[in-house]
Amino acid sequence: MKLLAATFPAFLSLFVAAAVTGRSPTFNDVTLDIVNADLAPDGFTRSTVSANGTFPGPLIRANKGDTLRVTMNNKLVITLSTDSGMRRSTTLDFDGIFFDTPNSYNEGTPFVTTCPVGPNASYTYELPLGEQTGTYWYHSQHADGLRGPLIIYDPDDPQADLYDVDDENTIWFISDWWHNKSLAMLESYQATQIIPVADGSLFNGAGRFNGGPEVSYSVSTVESGKRYRMRLINASARSDFTVSIDNHTMTVIAADGVATNPHVVNTIDLLAGQRYDVIVTGDQPVGNYWINTVLGGGTPRRNPNLNITLGRGILHYEGAPDAEPTTPMTLGPDEADRILLNEWELSPLVPIPAPPADIELSFFTSMTPNATSPSGFNTEWNINNISYVSPLVPTLVKIIDGANSEDDFGTKENTFVLPANKVIQITFPPSDEDELHPFHLHGNNFWVIKSNGSDIVNEVNPIRRDVSGAGAGGTTLRFTTDRPGPWFFHCHIFWHMNAGLASVMAAGPDETRAQVKPDAEWDDLCDAYNALPAELQ
């Protein structure tokens, strides 16, 4: 029987000293060095783009009301031929953080709110967290490894009586993993229409692949009788995961940072970019139990490295042997015993009825080849027959310089100019498309009026979140434009987004010009980026 190694990944926790000493924190100063590092979380060594040389990247912790200041130092190797399949310039995306006005220029979406930061340069992102709490993550070039958790704790959590433990050891950072580099895979996808399949998956930075070494699985340790707030993060470039724990239930208490009424399940489908907070109770006999994280979105036929049975962690009770479970590796509960989390069954702890829509948009998604490309095939994903292409000048720069209508943006920018302080409804009608796209809205939550898997329309107490699936069953989302600025709205599958499945919600151009005041550091980014040779961009 294989003995286990460390019980948790090397999460270096980055947290302001004031919070440790008990003084009310105001600013959290965090430094992330973005470097090339040779890592082997599943036993296969590859060069990565990483934060501080680890995977996952360091845990960023904050308290409700803090302001995070995250300094990113781009130390990616400038001349390294073996890393030619990865970009040298980068930004950071803090998934789910609102970036309230006037700070939206710090939001980090390349060519929407900013230009990328080149090698040997730095940028400090300021994130006023306001009333936000919950489970988030940061990433960039995440198919190449730059991903990490961001947790905002609430010292006065109204759900605190539901759990006993909530710390860095209760984060479940789940992700797909790729042995090849992102640019080469993207070029192959666009040329062939064959979407890349992951080589495997990682649970808290550890995993295995077919034929690879028996890397020790990551262990989550619990004590009998105690209740643990596990924070599930799907940090994948493509894959969804079906999560379960042998012989245990999970009580969902939050979705994408929004507290929910407790809802008991034993199986969760976790789409790329989604997060759930769940209560797991140590109520079973002392032992070791498999945490099943079954990867969706690929088959061994497309990648023989992939074995979805190997994606997992271990729930280890104190007092049990330091050993793997003796039970078989399954894909979770049998169908008859499965209690599946259905998004439409969740309700927010603090209900906010969805106001009536002022503007209604219909989004039709489709994939088409472009026969004019040299290869005869160029995979394009479309929203309303438009495949998004990043502009050379960021959307926010254009708005600050006077862009005021959709005619001021190129067709390929797929930018919707929306008046401020209105309610926008986006409907993905039912279709014949055989895809489920996890659509993510930057800088905002939306009400999920209708989930993809249900015909229920809920305007009274719908769940609010920032990632929801749009597919054949149809989805209706509603949000407000009370945060001026351009906000990226896109499929969270890396390959689909880069093939054009994206748009920009430009909320209140006049209000953006009046309220969003970038500093000199931001002003210099585009000039510096544009001066770089192509191989460093």
Residues with Cβ within 8 Å of residue 192, at least 6 apart in sequence: 377, 379
- What is the predicted pLDDT for the residue at 74? 96
- What is the predicted pLDDT for the residue at 6? 42
Q: How far apart are CA 189 and CA 378, in angstroms?
A: 8
pLDDT band at 377 (very low <50, low <70, confident <90, very high): low
Give mean pLDDT, residues 110-131. Answer: 96
pLDDT digits (tens, 9 = 90+) for 332-365: 999 999 999 999 999 999 999 999 999 999 999 9
- What is the predicted pLDDT for the residue at 8? 43
- What is the predicted pLDDT for the residue at 428? 97
pLDDT at 16 over 60: no
Least confident of 18-22, 45-49, 77-81, 182-186: 18-22
pLDDT at 3 over 60: no
Give mean pLDDT, residues 469-478. Answer: 96
Statement: the pTM of the whole predicted model exceeds 0.75: yes
Q: How far apart are CA 178 and CA 39, in angstroms?
A: 12
Higher model confidence: residue 192 or residue 137? 137
pLDDT band at 7 (very low <50, low <70, confident <90, very high): very low
pLDDT band at 101 (very low <50, low <70, confident <90, very high): confident
Yes or no: domain 359-536 corresponds to CATH 3.40.190.10: no
pLDDT digits (tens, 9 = 90+) for 384-417: 999 999 999 999 999 999 999 999 999 999 999 9
pLDDT digits (tens, 9 = 90+) for 422-452: 999 999 999 988 889 999 999 999 999 999 9
DSSP annotation of 15 reads: -
Q: How far apart are CA 445 and CA 373, in angstroms?
A: 38
Q: What are the E-state strand segments in 160-213?
A: 171-177, 200-203
Tokens coding 269: 């489908």
pLDDT at 10 over 50: no
- Answer whether 13-64+133-341 and 359-536 agree in fold: yes
The counts of H helices and E strands in the chain are: 6, 32
In three-state secondary structure terms, 472 is coil
Class level of CATH domain 13-64+133-341: mainly beta
pLDDT band at 78 (very low <50, low <70, confident <90, very high): low
- What is the predicted pLDDT for the residue at 79? 60
pLDDT digits (tens, 9 = 90+) for 22-56: 445 578 899 999 999 999 999 999 999 999 999 99
Annotate 266-314 with DSSP letters as a single string. Answer: SBEEE-TT-EEEEEEE--S-SSEEEEEEEEES--TTT-TT--GGG-EEE
- What is the predicted pLDDT for the residue at 375? 45
What phi, psi does 272 have (nearest 5°)?
-55, 125
Domain coordinates in residue numbering, the chain: 13-64+133-341, 359-536
